[in-house]
Chains A and B, each alone.
Chain A
């Protein structure tokens, strides 16, 4: 064994190791639990997608949830049994979160489905090994839970030249990896060879172990010696002085290679891959025996346990079951920690499951881990800076975190903090420094997210403004074009009439113009009906796969009912245990909430059938809509009338209160009245088209309506064309007179009823009078010319 150069990381601490207590006893198998809870998201990345349904029977090793996306991992049944629920359960998470889990009730038979072993794993190519590892649901077992297949498939331009196997286990108390290295050294070496093979046999293959594990080092060295001789490889077992946190990935890389991973980069970018010893063994078992990851070694330790040891625990075993197996005395337990005392997180409940990354359950007594003393003032002693393995200035970070100086925090590289807790550990003023950093990191991330969001909103707004401006411009352009066309037509017609005094008017050009103008009000009515139909269709589509939805709803109801039962049981337990009233009250409140939820879900489920029926109603409505374009027109008219009455009300209010907006409102009222007029016309026309075509199907109606409109327009145009200018002027005057009479009538009526719009009417009458005068003059002139 060649000696390997060791680089020393700066900082670090030497907390009491406390590793002896769990190594005194042999590794044991944890018996079958009454229930297995398998969270769908045990890894970094997207949760896996369940492949089983409630009530389905599963076998041990069976794939029950598949990876969804690259950064995800598959999940397998830890034993045979039935899927009793797929629901939200409390998981091992620092925030006490619930997350979707597959719950399996074992049948006690532990029937396994057949596995696919591979006799010659070293003859497999890279892709098939990675696939096998991926299918086995392997994730980094050191704690982060990064899907292993992704790490073995690094997308960098740098070839991998170093594979580091992390057997450091620097956290106090934890001995799971130590136990694994001692009991499965030869398998571990096979795993290391396999990983090296997968990564294209990098030049350096190093297994790093702290020197406080002499037995593990001896076992590994022997196994490595054998492997090196037999397979002509060069696997190096390197031991180095014990210091927390040597086991951090970046720290270990520095210790073994003297290189630092650039901030924000991954080790693969410099040709280094780090894997945990547990991952190496699991990879070997996955490829060689086809065995998916369904169990791991977990250290169960702490003075509130009668037995402290390492156990082989199946993934999904509830922690309270594991603790029970070791004589857990809950009353003596100060807290329950998943992971080590430096970086582990405390749990409130024991009903959470062991997952793929749970390397330790620590249940210390009160004397073992007393509550932290109250925080004192920072005296800037600098012990934290000496302990920091990342070369940060923890006390400066603390001051900046307290004063929310985010820029300063980032300038002091807050995000290079690995939250190892060394600074908090040494602080003589017992300041929970790491807690401040976590909070500050959260704040900074949130601020960044908010900024992103507001930036996006601003962009959206700007785009919208731009789009509106464009639309407005386009409309304006069209309006201008129409105006120009109309003037052109007028001029043409005048010219034709001049000619027409001699010859009869030609029908063709009139026909072309008629094609456009009179049918115009009909087209929007049809278009809006079509739109409505389309909307109804999409609404119906949104409810696709109604059976699936129903299943989901019923599943929700079931799981809610079961959680109600569970809560009730918990409450009963709490009352018998004589817990504080506030806690029980909380539980009661939760129970009530859940019951309400259940009721809601039931109601939804009931309503679901009705919705299904409603779906067909929607279809019918859609057909009806298609059959009658005039219904749409009527609708528009109705809504317009409603708007008008509202606008009038508003105007009235404004006038009463002498608001400056009164004028603007009045304009609005007038406009609305005009619109109503238009809509009425459209309705009339639509009605006439509808009556003109009595066919039951809606399809041929459209051309009919259009044809009728064209027909009518032709008549109008012909009538207009046959009129002399004199007659035309006369007609104009007549119509104006009619309108004036009507307006006057309205005006007088308004005066009688003391309507608020009297003035508006008065103005209207005046305008009409002016117009009439102009028209009469024009008529006079016309007759004089004649």
Chain B
């Protein structure tokens, strides 16, 4: 009678990569719901198309690489990438736009680097940046939120179809879109913060950071807190990012003068701040590994976000900030090896050999 020969440990907690990804997908639901509430069915169409592309491309690449398709699809990582990119794109984006973005994400950023776990850059953000640089005219058009005077939100299926599958005349598009809060704040440099809040519809209709957008961010914050309580990731990177962003915003608020960078609340609750903090920055594959490293990594992303938003060319900056820090993550890792039990001092990973 011979028994199974196995190496310890013999038990395993029930957590799996698929489960981690499923939690992430679940945590995006509040955000998606609020997005749909304010911007219409465009968000859902984005997600459906992106998921279809995501699964299709993942399966095709896995087949070409000769890997078991079902086994890898079950880890749900392709779906997470698809959903994150779909949320980041303007609602009701064209199918081909999404297709190009997903190809850049799944094929180039993920599989050409070796697949899940080997990608140095966040795939969703690579897809987003490729689109932002290649097709700025589509990427900067955000539908106006529902409760604004310009009726932008689309709940009408035929219009949605026209938007997604047929090219809609840009004039019609103009009627549907409106500048985002960060756009408005950036382009009205002559006004004090108080004036902007009083006279610009997107702010006057909202509470603290722009109508609609603030609630989207609150929803993503809740999703993120859910993930924190589920211990999917640690608090270090997202909190460091938000803290750094808030710190910069406070220091350069300038009491809301005409040259003000915007209030901390505006920065925390508009744009992709919360989505970025809890769903993008926390991507474990492309971030720093130790907790100390993640604090530095998150804080630097927060700083970069503010710098690009206020003094850079783009109204929002999460994607650029994250990709720039992805570059730096291995470097941060070298200098943030934790102190091991029984050692006086943490060692740098760059010091090998001769003690």
Contact with B along A255-280 (1 / 0, CB 8 A): 00000111111000000000000000
B207 within 8 A of A: no
Known: A379-B17, A428-B16. A391 touches B349 (CB 8 A): no
Known: A380-B284, A382-B234, A396-B333. A342 touches B15 (CB 8 A): no
A372 within 8 A of B: yes
B4 and A334 contacting across the interface, CB-CB below 8 Å = yes
The interface residues of chain B, by DSSP majority, are classed as loop
A172 and B7 contacting across the interface, CB-CB below 8 Å = no
A67 nearest CB across to chain B (Å): 30
B2-46 CB contacts (< 8 Å) to partner A: 2-13, 15-17, 19-20
A311 nearest CB across to chain B (Å): 20
A565 within 8 A of B: no
A240-256 CB contacts (< 8 Å) to partner B: 250, 254
A407 and B339 contacting across the interface, CB-CB below 8 Å = no
The one of B7, B289, B349 in contact with A380, judged by C-beta atoms closer than 8 angstroms, is B289
A537 within 8 A of B: no
A341 and B10 contacting across the interface, CB-CB below 8 Å = yes
B118 within 8 A of A: yes
A344 CA / B3 CA spacing, docked (Å): 14
B340 and A372 contacting across the interface, CB-CB below 8 Å = no
A428 and B116 contacting across the interface, CB-CB below 8 Å = no
A350 and B15 contacting across the interface, CB-CB below 8 Å = no
B341 nearest CB across to chain A (Å): 4
- Nearest B residue to A586 via CB reads B2
A371 and B289 contacting across the interface, CB-CB below 8 Å = no
B341 and A426 contacting across the interface, CB-CB below 8 Å = no
A389 within 8 A of B: yes
A784 CA / B337 CA spacing, docked (Å): 101
Known: A341-B9, A341-B10, A382-B284. A333 touches B290 (CB 8 A): no
A376 and B75 contacting across the interface, CB-CB below 8 Å = yes
- Nearest A residue to B10 via CB reads A341
B185 nearest CB across to chain A (Å): 36
B234 and A386 contacting across the interface, CB-CB below 8 Å = yes
B21 nearest CB across to chain A (Å): 9
The one of B2, B3, B6, B118 in contact with A372, judged by C-beta atoms closer than 8 angstroms, is B6
A383 within 8 A of B: yes
The one of B4, B115, B341 in contact with A250, judged by C-beta atoms closer than 8 angstroms, is B341
Instruction: Return chain A residues, CB-CB under 8 Å to B158.
Output: none
B342 and A262 contacting across the interface, CB-CB below 8 Å = yes
- Nearest A residue to B237 via CB reads A382
Contact with A along B285-300 (1 / 0, CB 8 A): 1010111001000000
B253 within 8 A of A: no
Instruction: Return chain A residues, CB-CB under 8 Å to B285.
Output: 379-380
A341 CA / B12 CA spacing, docked (Å): 9
A411 CA / B349 CA spacing, docked (Å): 6
A378 CA / B116 CA spacing, docked (Å): 8
Known: A386-B234, A393-B337, A411-B351. A335 touches B15 (CB 8 A): no
- Nearest A residue to B282 via CB reads A381
A576 nearest CB across to chain B (Å): 12
A413 within 8 A of B: yes
A468 nearest CB across to chain B (Å): 35
B76 nearest CB across to chain A (Å): 11
Q: Which of A38-46, A429-437, A515-523, A767-775 contacts B (4 or more CB under 8 A)?
A: A429-437
A336 CA / B10 CA spacing, docked (Å): 10
B7 and A260 contacting across the interface, CB-CB below 8 Å = no
- Nearest A residue to B347 via CB reads A411
Contact with B along A337-380 (1 / 0, CB 8 A): 10101111111111000000000001010000101111011111
A87-128 CB contacts (< 8 Å) to partner B: 94, 96
A397 nearest CB across to chain B (Å): 11
Number of residues from B at the complex interface, CB < 8 A:
48
Contact with B along A396-434 (1 / 0, CB 8 A): 100000000001101111001001010011111110101
B7 and A438 contacting across the interface, CB-CB below 8 Å = yes
B352 within 8 A of A: yes
B226 within 8 A of A: no
- Nearest B residue to A438 via CB reads B7
Instruction: Return chain A residues, CB-CB under 8 Å to B343.
Output: 262-263, 413, 416
A188 CA / B351 CA spacing, docked (Å): 48
- Nearest B residue to A369 via CB reads B10
Instruction: Return chain B residues, CB-CB under 8 Å to A261.
Output: 342
B338 within 8 A of A: yes
A511 CA / B268 CA spacing, docked (Å): 117
B117 within 8 A of A: yes
- Tell me the total A-B contact number using a CB cutoff of 8 A: 184
Interface centre among A330, A373, A413, A577 (most CB of B within 10 A): A413
A393 and B338 contacting across the interface, CB-CB below 8 Å = yes
Known: A408-B349, A412-B337. A345 touches B8 (CB 8 A): yes
B342 and A335 contacting across the interface, CB-CB below 8 Å = no
- Nearest B residue to A418 via CB reads B341
Instruction: Return chain A residues, CB-CB under 8 Å to B311.
Output: none
The one of A339, A376, A395, A416 in contact with B340, judged by C-beta atoms closer than 8 angstroms, is A416
The interface residues of chain A, by DSSP majority, are classed as loop
Known: A333-B3, A408-B352. A428 touches B15 (CB 8 A): yes
A330 and B17 contacting across the interface, CB-CB below 8 Å = no
The one of A264, A385, A427, A583 in contact with B338, judged by C-beta atoms closer than 8 angstroms, is A385
A347 and B333 contacting across the interface, CB-CB below 8 Å = no
A124 CA / B12 CA spacing, docked (Å): 49
A708 nearest CB across to chain B (Å): 70
A348 CA / B77 CA spacing, docked (Å): 38
A371 CA / B6 CA spacing, docked (Å): 9
A250 CA / B337 CA spacing, docked (Å): 21
A385 and B284 contacting across the interface, CB-CB below 8 Å = no
- Nearest B residue to A254 via CB reads B341
Instruction: Return chain A residues, CB-CB under 8 Å to B15.
Output: 383, 426, 428
A341 and B11 contacting across the interface, CB-CB below 8 Å = yes
B1 within 8 A of A: yes
B266-324 CB contacts (< 8 Å) to partner A: 284-285, 287, 289-291, 294
Instruction: Return chain B residues, CB-CB under 8 Å to A383.
Output: 15
- Nearest B residue to A370 via CB reads B12
Known: A381-B284, A416-B340, A429-B17. A396 touches B117 (CB 8 A): no
Instruction: Return chain A residues, CB-CB under 8 Å to B13.
Output: 13, 15, 425-426
A337 CA / B337 CA spacing, docked (Å): 35
- Nearest B residue to A390 via CB reads B341
- Nearest B residue to A351 via CB reads B1
The one of A16, A385, A421, A583 in contact with B8, judged by C-beta atoms closer than 8 angstroms, is A421
A369 CA / B9 CA spacing, docked (Å): 11
B3 and A348 contacting across the interface, CB-CB below 8 Å = yes
The one of B10, B115, B351, B353 in contact with A335, judged by C-beta atoms closer than 8 angstroms, is B10
The one of A378, A393, A432 in contact with B7, judged by C-beta atoms closer than 8 angstroms, is A432
Instruction: Return chain A residues, CB-CB under 8 Å to B116.
Output: 376-377, 379
A164 CA / B3 CA spacing, docked (Å): 37
Instruction: Return chain A residues, CB-CB under 8 Å to B341.
Output: 250, 254, 260, 263, 389-391, 416
Known: A349-B1, A385-B289. A425 touches B9 (CB 8 A): yes
10 CB contacts below 8 A, A to B, read: A15-B11, A342-B10, A348-B2, A369-B10, A377-B115, A407-B353, A411-B351, A411-B353, A432-B7, A435-B7
Residues of B within 8 A of A (CB): 1-13, 15-17, 19-20, 71, 75, 77, 115-118, 233-234, 284-285, 287, 289-291, 294, 333, 337-344, 347, 349, 351-353
Residues of A within 8 A of B (CB): 13, 15-16, 94, 96, 172, 250, 254, 260-265, 330, 333-337, 339, 341-350, 362, 364, 369, 371-374, 376-383, 385-386, 389-393, 395-396, 407-408, 410-413, 416, 419, 421, 424-430, 432, 434-435, 438, 577, 583
The list of the 8 closest CB pairs from A to B, nearest first, reads A421-B9, A377-B117, A263-B342, A407-B352, A335-B4, A381-B284, A413-B340, A341-B10
